[in-house]
Structure 1
C-alpha cells in the first residue's frame, strides 16, 4: 500500500469485521494521538496491515500521514522492521533531498483493540499509477518520463549505494508525487483549515462507520444506475466524453515509499519478492537476488510511464504456469536467456530443460523493444532507439551485468544536460 498519501487504497472499504482485538484501531475525525500532538483530519486509505489518516501536527503546524498498524503481535513486528528501515533512511538524509519518503515520528497508541504501533510520515500526493490513470493510460511525453526517472534513480542510488537497502517492491503504486494532481485534494493548496477537536454534536462525524456507510450508499447508487442502463461514463480509455488531460503545471517530482518489505542487502527476508509484473527473472528462478532486482522493477516502471501499459502481464495457460509465461514473455522481448542463467536457480528445473529451453512453451515469437515501441506505441524511430538503448541493459537477464542506479543517472538518455 502507498503508505503516506492520498493514494492509499480507496477502491473498497476495509470491512468492519477487522475492527476487533488484534485488528484496526477505529479513528474519528478530531481524535488526538501521541499526547495531543497529532489530530486526525480524514482517512486517506488502508492496507492489509494498517489504516492511514491525514493528520495535523500541532507542534510543527504541518499536515502529515498517520499510519496506524493493526495491534496483533505479527503486525507489530512488521511495523518495527519498517520503523528501523525508515529511521535509517531519514537519519542518512538530513536535507530530505534523496526522493525517499521521510519518517517524522513513531509511537505506540493504546485503544480498545490493543496496542497499535503508529508511524508519522510526510504527507505526499498521488501515486504514479494514479498519474497514469489520470492520463487515461496514454504514455507520458518522454521529457516528463525522464524527469520522473531521475527522481526514482536518485532514490534507488541512495538506498542501494549508501544504505545497502533493497526496496523489493518498486512499482508505480509505491512512488508518490510530492503533491496531489488535483489541488483541491491537497490540504495546503485547498486552504483547508485544520480540525483541532472532535466536532460537537456529531458523535459519528468522520468515523470509520460513517465512511463505510457512505461507501455502501455509493455502491448501491452505482448498481442502480447499471440496472437502469444509465451507467455513468468513467472517462477511461476510449471515452471521448472529455478533452485530453493537461499535465502542465503538475509537479512531477516524486518519492519512493512503502518499505514494509524492504531488506538489507546482506539479509534477504523472503525468497519471493516483488509484485508479479515487476518481478525480476532471478526472483522467479530463485537464484540469489540483490540490488539489481530493484533495477529490473525500475525498468518495467519506466516503460509503463512512457507507454501507459505494463511491460509484462503474464497469464496461466493450458499446461503452463504464470511463471513460465512470464519467462517466455521476457525472452520474446529481450532474446533467449543465457543457459547459465536459465539453469542456475533453485527453481530452474521447474521451467527449463538442461539445454536452457522452456519445457512447456516451445514456440517463442522473438521481437525487440525498439520495434515494439514503434509498432505498438507509435514512437518515432529515434525516440524508440534511444529509450531502448537506455532500458535494455537494465533488463539484462544476468543481474551482475545490469547497470546500477548511479550508472543509469549518468546515461545520455537521462542526463540532465540532455533534457531540453
Structure 2
C-alpha cells in the first residue's frame, strides 16, 4: 500500500503496488458492513458486464482488473488514473476549460453514457467527481481575461477520461429507489417523484457541461424548492404537464405556479436565486460554437424527460462537427 487516494461512506481507495503485475494500481476497499458488501457485489456485477461488452475499453468506462475478499472487506482492483475533473477544477481555482477541451470531454462522456444505456444500465450519479483524467499533467499559461493579467492557469495536456463509480448504477429492470443522483446534478423528475430512467443521466451531463464552461456548478443548492426555483431562473417555468405529474404537486406548486418564495424562505436564498441568469446569458450564442453548445445543453436540460435528447442523438449534434480553426477566426473577426 502506497498512499490514500480518497475515502467516503463506502470505504477507501488506496494506491497500491501489484508485485505480480509489477505495476501501480488503485484498490477500492469496502467497509466490512453487510449493506456495503452487498452493494459492492452489485457494482462488481455491473463492472464485469462493462468489461465483457467492451474488452478493449473503447467507451471510456473504468475497468475492474480483479477483486478479492480480505477479512470481510471486498477489495476491487482498478488501473491507476489521474485526479478527478472536479479536483483539477479546484486546483485551477475553478477556471473554465477551453472550448476544444469541453468538446472532447463531452464526446467521451456521451460515448460512455450511450454505451451503458445500450446495456440497459443507468449510472445515476454522473458528476465531475466521478470523471477521472487518465493523465492530469498540465502546463501553465497566462490566464487571459483574469483580473490579474500575470495569473497563470493550468491547461491540461491530455483530455482523455474514464467514467467511474458504478456503485449506484441500476439496470433498467431492477428496483429503482425514489431518490438518486448527487443534489447539484439531480433531474427535476427525481425531485418531483415522477420516477426516473435513462434521461436522468442526460440531465446530469447537461449540468456538468455548463460547469466545464463556467467553472462553477449550475445549481448549488441543498433544498428541493430552492432547486426548482433555480431551474426556473435558468431554464424558464416548469411546464404545467410536468408540475401536474408530480407525486405531490401541491407541495411545490399552486395551480402550476411554483410556491417560491414561502414565508420560511431565507433572504439569502431569494438573493441567490435572483442572481441566477438564464441559460442563454450563461452561454451567450455569439459564435457558431456557443450557438451549437447552447442548443446541445438546452436539449439536455429539457424539463420533460421524454423530450430530452438521448446520448446517441447528442453525439450526432453539430457541436461535435465544429472546426476550431473556424472558431478562432470568428473570435478574431475573420
Q: Same fold (TM over 0.5)?
A: yes
1:82-101 alignment runs, 5 A limit: 82-101=43-62
Q: Are 1:68 and 2:24 an aligned pair?
A: no
- 2:279 match: 369
How many aligned residue pairs are there?
Answer: 309
Deviation string 1:17-66 (CA, Å, 9 cap, x unpaired) is: xxxxxxxxxxxxxxxxxxxxxxx222222111111111222333222111
Structure 1 CA distance, aligned partners of 2:213 and 2:113?
Answer: 19
CA contact (8 A) 1:71 1:116 kept: yes
- 2:232 match: 331
CA contact (8 A) 1:134 1:245 kept: no
1:2-21 alignment runs, 5 A limit: none
DSSP-derived class of the 2:13 partner:
strand
CA contact (8 A) 1:343 1:349 kept: no
Structure 1 CA distance, aligned partners of 2:224 and 2:137?
Answer: 35
Per the alignment, do residues 348 and 94 of structure 1 end up closer, same or farther by CA in structure 2, a change over 3 Å counting? same
Deviation string 1:127-171 (CA, Å, 9 cap, x unpaired) is: 11112123321211111100111111110010111x111111100
Q: Are 1:50 and 2:48 an aligned pair?
A: no
Structure 2 CA distance, aligned partners of 1:244 and 1:85?
Answer: 41
Q: Are 1:387 and 2:297 an aligned pair?
A: no
DSSP-derived class of the 2:132 partner:
strand
Structure 2 CA distance, aligned partners of 1:58 and 1:259?
Answer: 27
CA contact (8 A) 1:124 1:177 kept: yes
Match of 1:296 among 199, 203, 206: 203
1:6-155 alignment runs, 5 A limit: 40-110=1-71, 115-155=72-112
Q: Are 1:409 and 2:309 an aligned pair?
A: no
Which stretches in structure 1 are left out of the alignment for 5+ residues?
Answer: 1-39, 184-237, 316-321
- 1:258 match: 165
- 1:359 match: 259
Deviation string 1:334-381 (CA, Å, 9 cap, x unpaired) is: 12111111120213321012x21112338996963122334xxxx845
CA contact (8 A) 2:229 2:260 kept: no
DSSP-derived class of the 1:391 partner:
helix
Which stretches in structure 2 are left out of the alignment for 5+ residues?
Answer: 140-145, 263-269, 326-334
CA contact (8 A) 1:106 1:117 kept: yes
Higher share in helix? 2
CA contact (8 A) 2:226 2:260 kept: no
Residue 68 of structure 1, CA deviation: 1.1
CA contact (8 A) 1:145 1:305 kept: yes
CA contact (8 A) 2:138 2:155 kept: no
User: What TM-score do the two structures reach when normalised by structure 1?
Assistant: 0.69
DSSP-derived class of the 1:247 partner:
strand
CA contact (8 A) 2:289 2:319 kept: no
Structure 2 CA distance, aligned partners of 1:89 and 1:395?
Answer: 27
Per the alignment, do residues 347 and 59 of structure 1 end up closer, same or farther by CA in structure 2, a change over 3 Å counting? farther
Residue 106 of structure 1, CA deviation: 0.8
Q: Which has the larger radius of gyration?
A: 1
Residue 246 of structure 1, CA deviation: 3.4
Structure 2 CA distance, aligned partners of 1:53 and 1:293?
Answer: 31
CA contact (8 A) 2:125 2:181 kept: yes
DSSP-derived class of the 1:309 partner:
coil
CA contact (8 A) 1:146 1:419 kept: no
Structure 1 CA distance, aligned partners of 2:60 and 2:192?
Answer: 31
User: What TM-score do the two structures reach when normalised by structure 2?
Assistant: 0.86
Match of 2:245 among 341, 344, 356: 344
Residue 74 of structure 1, CA deviation: 1.7
Structure 1 CA distance, aligned partners of 2:34 and 2:202?
Answer: 33
CA contact (8 A) 1:127 1:175 kept: yes
